[in-house]
Structures are given as C-alpha cells and as structure tokens.
Structure 1
Amino acid sequence: MTTPNPLTRGLRPTHPGELLREDVLPALGRPKAEIARLLRISRQTLYDILEERQPVTPGMALRLGKLCGNGPDLWLAMQRAYDLRLAAEALAEEVERIPTLTATEA
C-alpha cells in the first residue's frame, strides 16, 4: 500500500496529453503537424494523445522526452498515475472485498 502524498491528496492525476495540449505545445509555438512529424508519428496519433484517447506508451515517452529535453520518466509517471487512478475508481468495490493477508510467524 502506498502512502498518500499530502501535496496531491484529492487531486486527480493529469493525463500526459493534457499537459502536452495545454502547456507544452503552446510553449513550443509549433504547429501540431510539425510536432507529429518531429516525433515521427501520425497526426492522428498525436491528436489521440492530446484528446486523451490514447495513452503515452514507453516508446512515446522516449519520443516526447527527447523532443522536450526532459527524458521519458515524467511522461511515464504521469501516465502510470492516471491509469492507476482510473483503475482504482473502476475496481474500488471489487478490490475492497479482497482480504489483505499477512505472513504468519513460524
């Protein structure tokens, strides 16, 4: 079990596409078609990430990290947090019914 971060408690994790759409691309000031070309992906793939219809995969994180100069870790961590939150919400009742086992002393 992880300890909640008091700085982010209650905040919904951001899909990396939102960061890309709202902050990164405007700061770069380049057309989306050029960004897609530089990333060596289709425009549709870029649009799907920007609209949060597609996750940032490890390969895409490498591409974004290189393009932005910040490495892949941020992009993967954001996607992981986003995916985990969605799974926790979707499976909350089911997971709640699973017992927590402890090791017995020998």
Structure 2
Amino acid sequence: MRGYKLIAAIVPKGAAGKVMDAAREAGAEGGTILMARGTGVHEARRVFGITVSSERELVLILVEPEKRDAILDAVVRAGRLDEPARGIAFVMAVEEVKGIVHHERQED
C-alpha cells in the first residue's frame, strides 16, 4: 500500500496517552508509543553537577493523507506543542506499507 503519512510527535513523559487519545478522536486508527530521551537545548538539566536528560515519549501514527491535517492539529493541541519546550511534531512521507491487513482486504 502506498500513500500513507507518518506523524511523529516527541512529547514529555506522560503526555503520549493524551496525544494518542486526541489523535484517535481526530480519525487515527492507532499508533505506537516509545520511550525516548531528549538531548536538545531544553532537555538537558544539571542536578548536583550531573547532566540529566529528560525523558520523552515518541508517538508514531500512520495516517491516510486526507486525515493528516486534522490528526496533526489534534496532536499539537493535546501535546501543547505550540508552547516552549513541550516537544515537536512532524510529518514524513511513507513510501510503502505492509501489514495493515484490514485495509489491504478493502482494496481487493
């Protein structure tokens, strides 16, 4: 299958569930949440002279192109990504997808 987009959002630890709920309400069928560690300018903190990177969550959502804008907007709102140091979201083109069996059967 071709034509999907991947929405990726990097959010503070604990925010991924809310982001994923908002994405589902906007039309996403599901997603994947991974633990991550931030290394950007806003993530690194020093505690007792030791640099500690903040924990983040990475939300990956594969979407059909026509749903991309609504789902991305929902992710940004739920994650408060328009506020400083809250994280980022971006969209990537996906060349090919295998394993979404319920969609493959609909196309037959």
TM over 0.5: no
TM range (shorter): 0.3 to 0.5
Higher strand residue share: 2
Bigger Rg over Cα:
1
User: What's the TM-score, normalizing by structure 1?
Assistant: 0.33
Higher relative contact order (CA 8 A, sep 6+): 2
Higher helix residue share: 1
